């Protein structure tokens, strides 16, 4: 009890004069505690289970319209995505040369594109009661980043497929990329953006992206 109380005290009152001489030690302790109470594996599983549970409830009540599924995604998934990190990676070497408005647009574009993709995928799931999700125990970690592999079974008796979530700890664990069948969503955007910018420039890419968003939202 005394040791636990001391750890809690160190986290919440680390800035007080009593602990100034041991700041580095406190930082390490806080990270260790955070890893225990909020590991990336639990965060990844919670994100997926929470979204699927909400979707099951919508379907149960017969309210799983495309609009409602989109609302679910904005409420349950979007807050758990590190869109700033994902967008910076997607723009690669072009990022530093963009102005604030351009950076904001690309973040918005990727967010909205992913939302529309997820709406189509989640709305097509019917047999949600048989969906099973498990976490591969082999978590890859480096500093504040982690790669968590989830094994997902859609129907009983079927072979599970793997989805890897690339995560980063900000205020909590957030997903900044998803890898399925060896294909990274963010790297896919990166390849598209790089190719188009080299051929026609950033402004042309923004105009093309605006047109694609209009078509997506018109579905």
Closest CA to 84 of 118, 111, 46: 111
Q: Is 15 in the same domain as 47? A: no
Residue carrying the six token digits 């904005």: 74
Global pTM reads 0.78
Residues in the chain: 219
- In CATH, what number is assigned to the domain containing residue 128? 3.10.450.710
CB 12 within 8 A of CB 143: no
Q: Which one-letter DSSP state was computed for residue 170?
A: S
Q: Alpha-carbon distance 98 to 153, whole Å?
A: 41
- Strand-pairing partners, residue 163, are 150, 180
Q: Alpha-carbon distance 107 to 85, whole Å?
A: 9
Q: Tell me: the pLDDT tens digits for 54-105?
A: 888 888 898 988 889 899 999 988 999 999 999 999 999 999 999 999 999 9
Q: Tell me: the pLDDT tens digits for 125-153?
A: 666 777 788 999 999 999 899 999 999 88
User: How many structural domains comprise the chain?
Assistant: 2
Q: Is 24 in the same domain as 114? A: no
Confidence of residue 37 (pLDDT cuts 50, 70, 90): low
Range of the domain at 83: 40-217
Q: Alpha-carbon distance 112 to 83, whole Å?
A: 11
Q: Is 24 in the same domain as 85? A: no
Q: Is 32 in the same domain as 45? A: no
Q: Alpha-carbon distance 75 to 94, whole Å?
A: 31
Q: Alpha-carbon distance 24 to 11, whole Å?
A: 12
Closest CA to 103 of 114, 115, 93, 91: 91
Q: Is 189 in the same domain as 146? A: yes
């Amino acid at each position: 009890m005394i040791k636990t109380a001391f750890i809690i005290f160190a986290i919440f009152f680390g800035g007080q004069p009593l602990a100034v001489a041991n700041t580095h030690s406190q930082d390490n302790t806080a990270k260790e505690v955070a890893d225990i109470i909020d590991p990336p594996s639990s965060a990844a599983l919670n994100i997926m289970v929470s979204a699927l549970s909400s979707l099951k409830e919508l379907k149960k009540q017969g309210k799983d319209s495309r609009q409602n599924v989109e609302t679910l995604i904005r409420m349950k998934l979007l807050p758990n995505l590190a869109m700033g990190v994902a967008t910076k990676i997607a723009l690669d070497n072009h990022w530093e040369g963009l102005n604030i408005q351009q950076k904001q647009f690309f973040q918005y574009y990727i967010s909205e594109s992913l939302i529309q993709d997820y709406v189509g995928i989640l709305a097509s799931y019917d047999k949600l009661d048989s969906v099973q999700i498990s976490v591969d125990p082999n978590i890859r970690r480096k500093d504040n980043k982690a790669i968590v592999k989830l094994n997902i079974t859609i129907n009983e008796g079927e072979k599970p497929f793997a989805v890897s979530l690339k995560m980063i700890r900000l205020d909590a664990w957030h997903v900044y990329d998803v890898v399925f069948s060896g294909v990274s969503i963010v790297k896919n955007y990166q390849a598209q953006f790089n190719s188009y910018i080299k051929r026609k420039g950033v402004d042309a890419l923004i105009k093309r992206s605006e047109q694609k968003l209009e078509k997506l939202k018109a579905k």
